[in-house]
Structure 1
Amino acid sequence: MKIKSMLCASALLIFSPLSIAQEWNGKALGFESPPDPILGEMSGLRKMLNDNGFAYNLGYLNEIGWNGGGGYNHDSHVAYIDQFALTFNQDLSRWTHIPDARIEANIVNRNHNDDLTTRRVQDPRVNFNDLTQESWGGQSITRLGWLTFARSFDERRMTWRIGMMNKVQTFDQIIPCDFQMLSQCGGKSANSLTWNNWNVHTWGTTLEYRLTPTVTLKGGVMEQNPDASSRHHAWSGSTRGSKGVLLPMEIEARPVINGLPGAYNLGVIFTNAPQTDLYRGKSGGAGASDPSGYDHHNRTWFLYAGLNQQLTQHQHDASRGLSTSFSMSLADQRTNYMHSVYAASLRYRGLFDARPEDWIGVGLTWTDMSSQYARNQRYINMNRGVSDYNDAAYHPVPGHSFNGEFYYRFRPFSWLELQPGLQYWHRPAGITHTQDAWVTELKTVVTF
């Protein structure tokens, strides 16, 4: 019933008279053009590359988190991670005369692998459902994020992409990744746990078709490979480790409502790759004590949706104002330990006239863990005769968690962003025994 209501609401929004195509300016939603870089034109080199169809963006990011109070481990720790990312497109249409033909690539170098979440904030005996530093993950390593060929058809209404790809190139693109907390960074499609964000590639092909000036239908066939995030796969084009395919489908709308832009999406992912049951064994009982191990499911699904809507305009400047976003995911809790996640936020671009490019944001996230995952934890404790939470052999039983974040982003120069913030974690990882935690943060972005 909940899904049916969501579909009806989406249809009303998409085909409403309010959604008639107007000029869509998404700056106040977080869709900003790359800023002027610190290296400038590099004595004409950048212009020469652009004139030959080579466009690139080179950026540096670091994220710092400090456990100011509470959490699982109260010992003070400052966690630091950073990354360099090179993203580029090479235009091929000028030589091939194929409409919008291009090569797209992304290379990411991550360092330090220092995660405050599992080191201090939450009980490490249970799976994490959020991160204090969203860019943590994938180890200290340099990876190929994607290498794809793309072109358009039907007077640019259709875009086709093929190669070693990442989901962010096509899917779930309506919410920016501005917050440092993972659950507030972008949409919720990554919660499927069947594909990766940003710097991990798998083989696939996708199609995008613009049904109307505001509505786009997206679909694809992508490799489902649990080994894709391993070190040996960082630059590999091998399909070793593949378990099946992913079939994602999404509808995205970018209307202008009452003169203000918005972005909305609804997506579903189906996979035939075997997924391990979180509780049930192959013989029908508990998998933890089944001699044949845990059961597997060859058909699982995942649903995600979101919205990002500008609410106000600052005086007469369309690029400034208040916006709100909401995103959610609903998973098959037989195989996914995060059953449902709901995140909402408010952002304001250019609140102060003296700082028109600064941002302020506040966000809240509710996560409900899988009942099957909790059932398995309880069974393991019962089977081992363990009931004391402080016993190292005890398996904590998760429920729900509630996290929040506030940030202010300064842009003293076009190429530099400094973003201090504060996070609050209620029941980290869904464990009632873990004290609520406060985390102070600092995110820095430099564009070269």
Structure 2
Amino acid sequence: MKKLSRTFSLGVSLISLSCVISTVHAAEAFDPQSQWMFGDWNGKRSELQAKGYDFSFGYTGELATLLDSKNHSSHGTEYADQFALGAHLDLEKIAGWQDTEAQITVTERNGRSLSQTSDALTGHKSSVQEVWGRGQTWRLTDFWIKKKFLDQKLDVKVGRFGEGEDFNSFDCDFQNLALCGSQVGNWVGDQWYNWPVSQWAARVKYNLTPEVYAQVGAYEYNPENLERGKGFNLSTDGSHGAMIPAEVVWTPKLGAAKLPGEYRAGYYYSTAVAAVIGSITNQQDHHQGGWVVAKQQLTAHHGDASRGLSGFVNLTVHDTDTNQVSDMQNIGLVYKGLMDSRPQDEIAVGVARININDDVNDANIANNNVDVRGLQNEEYNAEIYYGIHATNWLTIRPNVQYIHQVGAYKNGENAWVGGIKFQTAF
């Protein structure tokens, strides 16, 4: 409770501070026009950037409270957060290594998730606080070097990082996990590790045209990387194979307004074995599946392409021999700058469907292990948020979420959750 009080107090203080500095002349360290809360360090920060050293210190906090549910009267509130400390190094400026850069990021997660503590959300397939998970601990999240060859057409990245940084990538502005980030990692999470977990990896990307590139990667599968005390584990002793994703990405700018879009299509295969669902002979197979991601700005606001309506769609499919989730889809709309008085605010709505593999039900029936809530089929997660651009270094997103058939049970709970997500760059 002390940690919850500390982190919640920090969130309230940041929100209050943003309100004050919007109306009162602020010191340089809290300039609302600065991209950093602590300012430019009397110009030293920009000077370091010009020399190739770009330091970052970010904070994400997420509050969630149960507003209403069909079968439960007890309402809970939880808070989870994450600190991320990083350094991006332009090694061409620093050491003269042409077209070479490196990244080091250390993260720490704290708090508790309402999806884990609320009776109304027991068995929740998604999470109402995406920042929670993978162990509330310190981790080495990025430790990689990247170099470009062949007139910058070929891009090679090696070191420690997660699949979702490059493959099946997606924005993480929503607070509900089923609408945030790489979705493959959410449903094949026993072997595909998204942020903040890292593993030894290599990724090769080739630009076929200025708008189209193809990439392939290999990521160590090592379950020890998930252990709470091994956030800085560099050993490969626990490796059991590799996750191999491949993807083609198209990044057009459409129409006279050059509205940006991003379209991804990919496939993954794991060389590590996984148990076959329902097998009574301990049969094993391999995870595999694919995805399609589409994001496109659809309109410009009165001719201003920095504002307007955008849409997105995520689709993933997974093998039904080894994976509990057979497929998932999400879809949504985001409007940036709806009001002239708030040109950098945004409003967004999204809906996600998580579909359970029929073999899971067959196995539970065979083992006489059917939940009192019935068989599992689909869980739906919906969210609407309003993103307040309080300053250039603080964004606050109050949101309302609705979860239908919690746990994907046909007779499962339906719940309403209120949340606040804020992101700060110190």
Q: Distance in 2 between matches of 1:232 and 1:139?
A: 9
Amino acid at match of 2:53: F
Please name the residue that 1:296 is paired with: 284
Provide the aligned length of Structure 1 versus Structure 2: 390
CA shift in 2, pair 1:74/1:331, >3 Å: farther
CA–CA separation in structure 2 for the residues paired with 1:121 and 1:358: 34
1:388: how far off? 7.6
Hey, what does 2:78 align to over in structure 1?
Answer: 79
Cα offset, 1:380, TM superposition:
2.6
SS at match of 2:116: helix
Q: What's the counterpart of residue 378 of structure 2?
A: 400
- Note closer, same or farther for the CA distance 1:123–1:60 as it changes in structure 2 (3 Å cut): closer
Relative to structure 1, the CA distance from residue 90 to residue 71 in structure 2 (aligned partners, 3 Å threshold; closer, same or farther) is: farther
Q: Which residue of 1 aligns with 2:243?
A: 246
Q: Which of 129, 132, 148 matches 1:133?
A: 129
Matched residue, 2:276: 277
Which of 143, 158, 165 is the equivalent residue of 2:161? 165
**Equivalent residue, structure 2, for 1:389:** 372
Q: 296, 309, 312: which is aligned to 1:309?
A: 296
Deviations 1:147-167 (A, max 9, x none): 011111011111101111212
**By how many angstroms is 1:317 displaced?**
1.0
| Deviation sequence 1:298-342 (CA, Å, 0-9, x none) | x33121111001111001211100000000110012211111000
Is the contact between residue 121 and residue 413 of structure 2 (CA under 8 Å) also seen in structure 1?
no
* Structure 1 residues 388 and 401: alpha-carbon distance in aligned structure 2, compared to 1, 3 A threshold: closer
| Paired AA for residue 117 in structure 1 | S
Q: Is the 8 A contact 2:254 2:260 kept in 1?
A: yes
**Contact 2:78–2:114 under 8 Å retained in 1:** yes
Q: Secondary structure at the match of 1:211?
A: strand
2: CA distance between counterparts of 1:62 and 1:82? Answer: 4
2:392 aligned with 1:414:
yes
Residue by residue, what CA displacement relative to the aligned partner does 1:181-213 show, whole Å, maximum 9, x if unpaired? 001113423133222111111111111111001
Per the alignment, residue 5 of structure 1 pairs with none
Does structure 1 residue 367 correspond to structure 2 residue 345? no
Matched, 1:189 2:184: yes
Shift of residue 272, structure 1, vs aligned partner: 1.2
Residue 325 in structure 1 maps to residue 326 in structure 2:
no
Give SS of 1:274's match.
strand
> RMSD value over aligned CA atoms?
1.9
Aligned to 1:434, which of 406, 412, 415? Answer: 412
Structure 2 CA distance for aligned equivalents of residues 220 and 121 of structure 1: 40
**2-structure distance, mates of 1:155, 1:324:** 33
* 2:53 corresponds to: 54
Shift of 1:274: 0.8
Q: Which amino acid aligns with 2:277?
A: L
1:110 matched to 2:109? The reply is yes
Deviation digits for residues 4-52 of structure 1 (CA, Å, limit 9, x no counterpart): xxxxxxxxxxxxxxxxxxxxxxxxxxxxxx9711111012331232133
Partner AA of 2:116 in structure 1: T
8 Å CA contact 1:73, 1:120 repeated in 2: no
Task: Provide the TM-score with structure 2 as the length reference.
Answer: 0.87
Q: Is the counterpart of residue 349 in structure 1 residue 349 in structure 2?
A: no
1:64 deviates by 0.7
In structure 1, give the amino acid aligned to 2:177: L
Contact 1:71 1:428 in 2 (8 A): no
Shift of 1:377: 2.1
Q: How many Å apart are 1:119 and its aligned residue?
A: 1.9
The residue aligned with 2:425 is: 447
Q: Distance in 1 between matches of 2:71 and 2:41?
A: 49
Question: Is the 8 Å Cα contact of residues 35 and 393 (structure 2) preserved in structure 1?
Answer: yes
Gaps of 5+ in 2: 1-32
Counting only pairs closer than 5 Å after superposition, residues 151-230 of structure 1 correspond to structure 2 as 151-173=147-169, 175-190=170-185, 191-193=187-189, 194-230=191-227
Provide the TM-score with structure 1 as the length reference. 0.83
Tell me if the contact between 1:361 and 1:407 (Cα under 8 Å) persists in the aligned partners. yes
Distance in 2 between the 1:360 and 1:187 partners?
21
Aligned residue identity for 1:438: W
How far is the alpha carbon of 1:243 from its aligned partner?
A: 1.1
Distance 2:330 2:378 in 1: 13
Distance 2:341 2:304 in 1: 14
1:25 equivalent in structure 2: none
| Equivalent position SS for 2:360 | helix
Q: 1:95 to 1:365 in 2, by over 3 A?
A: closer
**Aligned AA (2:366):** Y
Question: Are 2:118 and 1:120 aligned?
Answer: yes
SS in 1 for 2:87: strand
Query: Which residue identity lines up with residue 407 of structure 2 in the other structure?
Result: A
Query: Could you tell me how far apart the structure 1 residues matched to 2:71 and 2:248 are?
Result: 41
Residue identity in the other structure for 2:81: D
Aligned-partner SS, 2:86:
strand
Task: Give the distance between the partners of 1:317 and 1:245, measured in 2 at CA.
Answer: 45
CA contact (8 A) 1:35 1:447 kept: no
The residue type equivalent to 1:206 in the other structure is R
| Residue aligned with 1:117, SS | helix
SS at match of 1:435: coil
Answer whether contact 1:192 1:302 (CA < 8 A) is retained: no
**Per-residue deviation at 1:121?**
5.9
- What residue number does 1:64 align with? 63
Moved more, 254-263 or 311-320: 254-263
